[in-house]
Each structure stands twice: as C-alpha cells, then as structure tokens.
Amino acid sequence: MLIKRPQIGAISENEVTPESIYLSRRSVLKALGIVAASGVALNARGGVFDDLLGGDKPASEAPRSPLPYTKDNQTHGLILTPENKVTSHNNYYEFGTDKTDPAANSQHLKTQPWTLTVEGEVEQPGTIDLWEMIHTSALEERIYRMRCVEAWSMVIPWLGVELGSILKKFKPTSRAKYVAFETLYDPEQMPGQKSRRIGGGIQYPYVEGLRIDEAMHPLTLLSVGLYGKTLPPQNGAPVRLVVPWKYGFKGIKSIVKIRLMETQPPTTWNLLAPNEYGFYANVNPNVDHPRWSQASERFIGPGGPFSSTRQKTLMFNGYEEAVASLYAGMDLRKFY
C-alpha cells in the first residue's frame, strides 16, 4: 500500500475516500493500462517519488482577482469547506490524476483572453468575451454542496451567473433539447492531453452535457469564481459549470464551447465507463455505483488538514424540492 506524506492543507485521496473506492476508480484506469500495475499512479511528470510525497506545491500560484458580487445570504445551515481544501484537493485530469496534481501543474494556464463560443440550435450563434462578461455581469454568490461520485463532498461558495440567462441571449431554437460543453484542447498547456498515462486515458477534450431544462434551471451556474475571487486554474479557471444536484464530474472546467443540440451529446466519463457513469449523474443515495455504495459520503470540512466526517448522502444532493420534478416518471436506476 502506497504511503503518502501529504502537504499541509492538502487531503490525500485515501484520507477522504474509502480505500475500496480509491483503489477501484484507479482500477478502471489500470484496466486501460494507464496506472502502473503496482497501483501507484504516476503523477503528471511521471514521477513515482513525487506521488510518494503527495505532489508538489505550486512554485507560484496564479494570481486571483477579487470580484464584486451579491452575497448568498442564506447559508442553508451549511458549513463551508475551507478555501485551501477546495483549491488543493481537485480532479482535473488534464493536469494529472492525483488529487494534488491540478494545483501543482495548472498554475501556468493562460486564461486571458478567453472566448466562449455558443453555437448549434440557436438563432444567434456567437462568442462571449469571457472577461468582458465577468466585468459586466451581476455576479451572484451561490453556496452549494458538491458531491463527487467518489463519495467525498464539500460545500463551496461559488461566484457566477445562471447559465440559463446566458443561453437565452443566443435565442435557443425549438430543436434545442440538449446542451453540450467542451473544455479547452491545448496539449501544450495541458500535459494530460498529450499522454494517456498522465491524463487518465480520457479522450480529450473533456466533454459534458445537460438536457435543456437542466441547463435552464435556476440552480445551474456558469461559475467564474469562488471565495470572492476569480477561479484558480485547478478549479477550472476562467469558467466552469456547476450543477449542484449532480455528481461533480458534470462540472466541466475551462469551457471554450457550448453547443445546443437536438440529440443527447456524448460525455467524457460515460464514454470511458458507460456502465459506471451515466449521462444524468444525479446524486442518488439509493442507486449505488457498481463498485461502491453511494449511501454516504465523507464531508471535507473545517478542522485539521486531514479531517473529514461521514454523513448521509441526500437525494439530489439536498436539492430534491427544486429539481425532482425534472425527472418525474423516469426510472432513476435506468437513467443513472
């Protein structure tokens, strides 16, 4: 068993995730020949030793600017995950598969200028100058639960705008039934896109999708910041999706393209392991992952760097009242 010496403020994956899950998600990668047979994941620079040390701390962190925003005055009784944990325990396979790789390897990502294309089933296709959008929009803070499919969770104060308000400006046609999202494809900047081993065997660019009613739902956020400032690169700077009632992998990072479509778009984790990760990916404690239970989760909250508490997972991640009607009559075991 690999013993890691974690950094201060970072949480090693096996601290917050039962070993069975920690190892079994890697076994998908192993089956694909991505992870060394010993079970030791090589990090973004291929260094077993770096992995043993729990990854590198970024030599210099990308600067983040404070943003004006309307505060979320309802704390909803939620306890926030400290900022240093939100920004040091990440999944962003373009920068490596270890939880500390994204913070270590993404700080150079060039996020200015940034253009977001909106195309497909819209009357007025076009582009968004992302930084102009950030500076001219009324940004809102949204304190949301975030539940990873790996059975850990956080509570994060995001900043952003409702995705629906953006999409409406491009006038979706009546044929727009789905919305597809695409991450930047730039192997020079994203080492995981250059190498199957570093990037977890994913076929890049990372892609995601929502049904149009999910995309238009007022809880669905196009996020440009967290904890009062612009997003750090490891969390998906400069713009990512946040859909709080779905597993975290739906929250695609560093988006460059949005395409409205008549048919259901392919999604990255579903392409990789369709029997394990569905298109819908709604948080559901009653439908287990084929290899582990989804009934409970380890909440990464305040406390020592490695502390976490086990809690019950809530239906639709606690947003049942707001979103259950979207799935009325659907068999959620089939549409997982």
Q: Which residues bind ligand MTE (CB under 6 A)?
A: 90-94, 148, 183, 206, 235, 248-249, 251-254
DSSP state, residue 175: T
Helix (H, G, I), strand (E, B) or coil at 167: helix
Q: Residue with CB nearest ligand MTE?
A: 248
Question: Which residue reads 């920004």 in tokens?
Answer: 87
Q: Strands of 207-211's sheet, edge to edge?
A: 126-129, 115-120, 255-261, 178-183, 207-211
Residue matched to tokens 């502390």 = 307
191 vs 251, beta carbon nearer ligand MTE:
251
CB 219, min distance to ligand MTE, A: 17
Q: How far apart are CB 207 and ligand MTE at their closest, in Å?
A: 9
Phi-psi bin for 76: left (phi > 0), alpha (psi -120 to 50), beta?
left
Calpha distance 112→238 (Å, rounded): 8
Nearer to ligand MTE, 18 or 177 (CB): 18
Structural contact between residues 332 and 282, judged by C-beta atoms closer than 8 angstroms: yes
Q: Taking the complex as a whole, how short is the minimal distance between the CB of residue 302 and ligand MTE, in angstroms?
A: 17
Which of 121, 300 has the CB closer to ligand MTE?
300
Cα–Cα separations (whole angstroms), residue 217 to 80, 172, 211: 24, 15, 10
Nearest-approach distance from CB 17 to ligand MTE, in angstroms: 11
Complex with ligand MTE: residue 15 or 94, whichever CB lies closer: 94
Q: How far is the CB of 165 from ligand MTE (least distance, A)?
A: 22
Euclidean distance between CA atoms 43 and 253, whole angstroms: 20
In this complex, which beta carbon is closest to ligand MTE, that of residue 177 or of residue 276? 276
Q: Which ranges constitute the DSSP H helices of 163-281?
A: 163-169, 191-194, 212-215, 268-272
Quick one: 93 or 178, whose CB is closer to ligand MTE?
A: 93
Cβ closest to ligand MTE, residue 121 vs residue 161: 161
- Can you say how many angstroms the Cα of residue 256 is from the centroid of all Cα atoms in its chain? 15
- Answer for the pair 157, 72: CB distance below 8 angstroms, yes or no: yes
Question: Smallest distance, Å, CB 206 to ligand MTE?
Answer: 3
For residues 170 and 206, which CB has a smaller minimum distance to ligand MTE in the complex?
206
Smallest gap from Cβ 36 to ligand MTE, in A, equals 20
Give me the least distance between CB of 96 and ligand MTE, in Å please. Answer: 10
Secondary-structure breakdown of the chain: helix, strand, coil percentages, each rounded to the nearest 5: 25, 20, 55
